[in-house]
Structure 1
Amino acid sequence: PNQFENVILKTEPRAVNVPLALNDICLYVHTGGTTAVPKICIVSHRQMVWNSFDILATGIVGTFRNVLITFPFFHIGGWNTFTPLFHAGLTSVLLREFNPGLILELIHEGRVENFGAVEAMLQFLIAHPKFAETDFSKVKAITTAAAPCSKSVMQVFLDKGIPISQTYGMTEAGPSNFAYIARSESLEELLTHSASIGASMFHCDAKIVDQESGLEVGPGQVGVLCMRSPHNFDGYLHDPARTEKVINLEGWVYTGDLAVRDQDGLVCIKGRADNMFISGGENVSPEEIEQALMKHPDVAGAICAGVPDPKWGQAPVALVVFHAGKKVEEAELQSFCREHLAGYKVPKQIRLVAELPLTGAGKLNRHAVVAMFS
Structure 2
Amino acid sequence: MTTSAPLQESQASGDTRPALIEQPIGAFFAAMAASQPDREALVSRHQGVRLSYGELDQAANRLASALLGLGLDKGDRIGIWSHNNAEWLLMQLATAKVGLILVNINPAYRTSELDYALNKVGCKVLVTMARFKTSDYLGMLRELGPARLPQLKTIVWIDQAGQGADEPGLLRFSELMARGDPQDARIAAIGATLRADDPINIQFTSGTTGFPKGATLTHRNILNNGFFIGEAMKLTPADRLCIPVPLYHCFGMVLGNLACLTHGATIVYPNDGFDPLTVLETVQAEQCTGLHGVPTMFIAELDHPRFGEFDLSSLRTGIMAGSPCPIEVMKRVVKDMHLGEITIAYGMTETSPVSCQSSTDTPLDRRVSTVGLVQPHLQVKVIDPETGKTVAPGVSGELCTRGYSVMHGYWGDEEKTREAIDPEGWMHTGDLATMDAEGYVNIVGRIKDLVIRGGENIYPREIEEFLYRHPKVQDVQVVGVPDAKYGEELCAWVIVKPGQVLAEEELREFCRGQIAHYKVPRYIRFVAEFPMTVTGKIQKFKIRDAMKAQLSLQEEKTA
Aligned AA for 1:168?
A: Y
- 1:225, distance to aligned residue in structure 2 (A): 1.1
Q: 2:339 maps to which residue?
A: 162
SS at match of 2:313: coil
Change (3 A) 1:88 1:227: same
Counterpart contact for 1:140–1:162, Cα < 8 Å: yes
SS in 2 for 1:231: coil
Q: CA offset at residue 34 of structure 1?
A: 6.8
Whichever residue aligns with residue 262 of structure 2, its letter is H
Task: Return 60-69 or 116-125, whichever deviates more.
Answer: 60-69
Counterpart in the other structure of 2:264:
89
Question: Which sits farther off after the overlay, 316-325 or 290-299?
Answer: 290-299
Q: Are the structure 2 counterparts of residues 325 and 60 from structure 1 closer, same or farther at C-alpha, using a change threshold of 3 Å?
A: farther
- Contact 2:345/2:354 (CA < 8 Å) preserved in 1? yes
Alignment of structure 1 residues 178-189 onto 2, 5 Å: 178-183=356-361, 189=363
Within 5 Å, give how 1:32-51 maps onto structure 2: 38-51=212-225
Q: Is the 8 A contact 2:402 2:426 kept in 1?
A: yes
Return the offset for 1:250: 1.2
Does the C-alpha gap of structure 1 residues 337 and 60 become closer, same or farther in structure 2, counting only changes over 3 Å?
farther
CA deviation after TM superposition for structure 1 residue 194, in Å: 0.5
Please state if 1:249 is matched with 2:423. Answer: yes
Deviation at 1:36, TM superposition (A): 7.1
What code does the residue aligned with 2:534 have? Answer: G
For 2:263, give the aligned amino acid: A
Query: How much has 1:82 moved relative to structure 2?
Result: 0.8
* 1:129 CA drift (Å): 2.5
Superposed CA offset, 1:149-184 (max 9, x none): 22332232322432221111111123111111233x
- With normalisation by structure 1, the TM-score equals 0.90
Aligned to 1:103: 279
Q: Which residue of 2 aligns with 1:66?
A: 240
**Could you tell me how far 1:62 is from its partner in structure 2?**
4.3
CA separation in 2, counterparts of 1:343 and 1:239?
45
Distance 2:259 2:511 in 1: 43
How far off its partner does 1:191 sit?
Answer: 4.3
In 1: Cα distance, 2:173 partner to 2:413 partner: 38
Identity of aligned residues (%): 32
User: How far apart, CA to CA, are the structure 1 residues paired with 2:298 and 2:209?
Assistant: 24
Letter aligned with residue 174 of structure 1: S
1:85 maps to a residue whose letter is C
Is 2:447 the counterpart of 1:273?
yes
Q: Is the 8 A contact 1:23 1:45 kept in 2?
A: yes
Counterpart for residue 90 of structure 2: none
Is 1:200 the equivalent of 2:374?
Answer: yes
What amino acid is the match of 1:250?
E
Tell me, yes or no, if structure 1 residue 130 matches structure 2 residue 302. no
Helix, strand or coil at the partner of 1:88: coil
Secondary structure in 2 matching 1:79: helix
1:253: how far off? 0.8
Give 2:109's aligned residue.
none
Indicate whether 1:76 and 2:244 are aligned: no
Aligned to 2:178: 10
Residue 190 of structure 1 deviates from its aligned partner by: 1.4
* Separation in 2, partners of 1:281, 1:314: 10
How many angstroms does 1:370 deviate by?
1.2
Q: Are 1:288 and 2:462 matched, yes or no?
A: yes
Measured against aligned partners, the alpha-carbon deviations of 1:287-346 in whole angstroms (never above 9, x if no partner) come to 232223223232221111122333333322110122233332112222333434433332
8 Å contact kept, 1:34–1:364: no
The Cα shift of 1:42 comes to 1.0
**What is the aligned partner in structure 2 of residue 347 from structure 1?**
521
Offset of residue 8 of structure 1: 6.0
Residue in 2 that maps onto 1:363: 537
2:316 corresponds to 1:148? no
The aligned counterpart of 1:333 is 507
Mapped contact 2:396–2:433 kept (Cα < 8 A): yes
Match of 1:309 among 471, 483, 492: 483
Q: CA deviation at 1:47?
A: 0.9
**TM-aligned CA deviation for residue 366 of structure 1:** 0.7
Letter aligned with residue 11 of structure 1: R
**Shift of the alpha carbon at 1:352?**
1.1
- Superposed CA offset, 1:14-69 (max 9, x none): 51243322222211102275777643211122211221332244344345432122
Cα gap change, 1:272/1:326 in structure 2, threshold over 3 Å: closer, same or farther?
A: same
Cross-structure match for 2:132:
none
Match of 2:372, SS state, is: strand
* Residue in structure 2 matched with residue 21 of structure 1 by the alignment: 195
Residue type of the partner of 2:346? Y
Query: Which amino acid in structure 2 is aligned with residue 7 of structure 1?
Result: E
Stretch moving more, 71-80 or 189-198:
189-198
Structure 1 or 2: larger helix share?
2
Question: Once the 2 structures are TM-superposed, how far is the Cα of residue 227 of structure 1 from its aligned partner?
Answer: 0.8
What is the RMSD computed on CA atoms of the aligned residues?
2.4
Change (3 A) 1:302 1:212: same
Deviations 1:224-244 (A, max 9, x none): 111111111022223322221
Q: Structure 1 pair 312/52, CA: closer, same or farther in 2 (3 Å)?
A: same
Aligned-pair CA distance for 1:199: 0.6
Cα distance between partner residues in 2 of 1:44 and 1:233:
7
**Match of residue 492, structure 2, among 318, 323, 332:** 318
Distance 2:420 2:529 in 1: 32
More divergent stretch after superposition (91-100 vs 273-282) = 273-282
Distance 2:319 2:415 in 1: 35
Unpaired segments of 5 or more residues in structure 1? none
Tell me, yes or no, if the aligned pair for 2:373 and 2:441 is still in contact at 8 Å: yes
Q: State how far apart, in whole Å, the 1-side matches of 2:537 and 2:439 are.
A: 26
Question: Secondary structure of 1:147's match?
Answer: coil
Alpha-carbon shift at residue 196 of structure 1 (Å): 0.9
Q: Is the 8 A contact 1:57 1:202 kept in 2?
A: no
Tell me how far apart the structure 2 counterparts of residues 287 and 37 of structure 1 sit (CA, whole Å): 27
The amino acid of 1:371's aligned partner reads D
Equivalent residue letter for 1:162: L
- The DSSP-based 3-state class of the residue aligned with 1:172 is helix
Distance in 2 separating the partners of 1:150 and 1:332: 21
